[in-house]
């Protein structure tokens, strides 16, 4: 057979195959686009079609992941949530595509990819998320550190710890939350320091995460920090000690209930009442006998009433 003829046949077949692939890709995109309109619709008329449409897109598998990632540029919150929901349903097969997308120049897309990886919770994404946890865009750092906490793999701990000292409060909050989810014991002192953070979200997240760490270690660090010049530290420490409710914690609170500061006495007294709602330690009567400040007394009475209402 003539070599030129063979080459010509191969060339024609290649063109035909290429055309077939293009047609197949076009068909997939057309199907995806029509389904996504339903999946992200807010119209009451299509209400019953939203979830089935999401399921249908997810059933198309990893082939639609690049199309979903492209949708992350949307300004529509409903479309953004739809993309996240679908990627979560696709699960682990989507992870390699999402990891590659972390290299995109568009920071908005990268932060949303981090969000999706956190919801999928596949540990194979940890290394890539660590690499973008120091991204110049703070929203990417926020989502990457939050995703590491959601995934729950200890390899993410160093990046999470680094986030506790970020210059942006929202990132510090994400790091504090992730410390609790990963139960990073080494974060105890930093989280106690974060109780005095300027950003409310970081302070409260630190408080809740400390409740997930070793109780004895947390109480010991709090005992050393009660007299901090930052009142937030001592006040929130009182709340933590009240939730622990063990003997050491209650003794510390009883000491703080004699503070010269009415605000600190109020926090300590309320925490004592919360930590010992049935007054088994006998602190309640002593607290009421020696307190003279009407505002503190009112807060104590409210705490007692709340306990009674909850029983």
Distance from the Cα of residue 100 to its chain's centroid: 22
Strand, helix or coil for residue 175: helix
Give CB contacts under 8 A, 24+ apart, made by 306-311.
Answer: 307/273, 307/274, 307/277, 310/277, 311/277
Q: Hey, is 297 helix, strand or coil?
A: helix
For tokens 């607290």, the residue is: 287
Closest listed residue to residue 178, CA positions, set 214, 138, 206: 206
CB 207 within 8 A of CB 240: yes
- Give the CA dihedral 113, 119, 123, 127, nearest 10 degrees: 30
Q: How far apart are CA 11 and CA 85, in angstroms?
A: 43
Q: Which fold has domain 215-311?
A: 1.25.10
Class of residue 2 by CB neighbours under 10 A (exposed 0-12, middle 13-18, buried 19+): exposed
pLDDT tens over the chain, length 311 residues? 455 443 333 333 444 344 444 445 778 889 998 899 999 988 888 889 999 999 999 999 999 999 999 999 999 999 999 999 999 999 999 999 999 999 999 999 999 999 999 999 999 999 999 999 999 999 999 999 999 999 999 999 999 999 999 999 999 999 999 999 999 999 999 999 999 999 999 999 999 999 999 999 999 999 999 999 999 999 999 999 999 989 999 999 999 999 999 999 999 999 999 888 888 877 888 899 889 999 999 999 999 888 887 65
Query: What is the DSSP secondary structure assignment for residue 282, as one 8-state letter?
Result: S
Query: What torsion, rounded to 10 degrees, do the Cα atoms 160, 164, 166, 169 define?
Result: 110
In the prediction, which pLDDT does 8 show?
A: 39
The H or E element spanning position 253 is: helix 247-256
| Alpha-carbon torsion (57, 149, 215, 267), positive or negative | negative
All structural domains of the chain with their residue ranges: 215-311
Nearest to 242 by CA among 221, 211, 214: 211
pTM given for the model: 0.86
Query: What does the H/E/C string look like for 12-31?
Result: HHHHHHHHHHHHHHHHHHHH
The span from the CA of 57 to the CA of 79, in Å, is 14
The stretches of 195-293 forming alpha helices (DSSP H) are: 200-210, 215-225, 231-244, 247-256, 262-275, 283-290
Q: How many CB atoms lie within 10 A of CB 242?
A: 22
pLDDT computed for residue 2 by the predictor? 52
Distance separating alpha carbons of residues 124 and 128, to the nearest angstrom: 8
Q: Which residue has the tokens 């930052």?
A: 230
- pLDDT at residue 70 in the model: 96
What angle is formed at CA 184 by the lines to CA 180 and CA 188, rounded to 5 degrees?
Answer: 85
Q: Residue 166 — φ and ψ, nearest 5°?
A: -60, 155
Question: How many residues comprise the chain?
Answer: 311
């Amino acid at each position: 057979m003539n070599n030129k003829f063979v080459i010509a046949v191969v060339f024609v077949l290649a063109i035909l195959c290429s055309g077939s692939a293009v047609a197949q890709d076009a068909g997939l995109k057309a199907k995806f686009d029509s389904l996504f309109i339903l999946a992200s619709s807010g119209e009451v008329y299509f209400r019953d079609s939203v979830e089935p449409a999401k399921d249908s897109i997810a059933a198309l598998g990893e082939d639609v992941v690049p199309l979903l990632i492209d949708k992350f540029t949307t300004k529509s919150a409903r479309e953004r949530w739809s993309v996240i929901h679908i990627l979560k349903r696709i699960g682990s097969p989507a992870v390699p595509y999402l990891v590659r997308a972390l290299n995109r120049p568009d920071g908005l897309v990268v932060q949303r990819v981090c969000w999706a990886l956190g919801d999928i919770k596949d540990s194979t994404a940890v290394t890539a998320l660590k690499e973008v946890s120091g991204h110049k865009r703070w929203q990417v750092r926020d989502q990457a550190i939050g995703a590491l906490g959601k995934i729950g793999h200890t390899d993410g701990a160093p990046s999470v710890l680094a986030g506790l000292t970020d210059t942006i409060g929202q990132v510090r909050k994400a790091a504090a939350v992730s410390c609790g989810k990963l139960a990073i014991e080494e974060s105890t002192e930093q989280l106690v320091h974060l109780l005095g953070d300027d950003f409310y979200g970081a302070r409260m997240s630190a408080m809740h995460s400390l409740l997930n760490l070793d109780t004895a270690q947390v109480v010991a660090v709090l005992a050393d920090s009660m007299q901090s010049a930052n009142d937030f530290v001592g006040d929130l420490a009182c709340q933590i000690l009240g939730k622990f409710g063990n003997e050491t914690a209650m003794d510390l609170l009883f000491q703080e209930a004699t503070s010269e500061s009415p605000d600190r006495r109020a926090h300590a007294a309320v925490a004592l009442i919360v930590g010992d709602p049935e007054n088994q330690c006998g602190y309640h009567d002593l607290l009421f006998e020696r307190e003279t400040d009407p505002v503190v007394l009112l807060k104590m009475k409210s705490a007692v009433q709340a306990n009674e209402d909850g029983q």
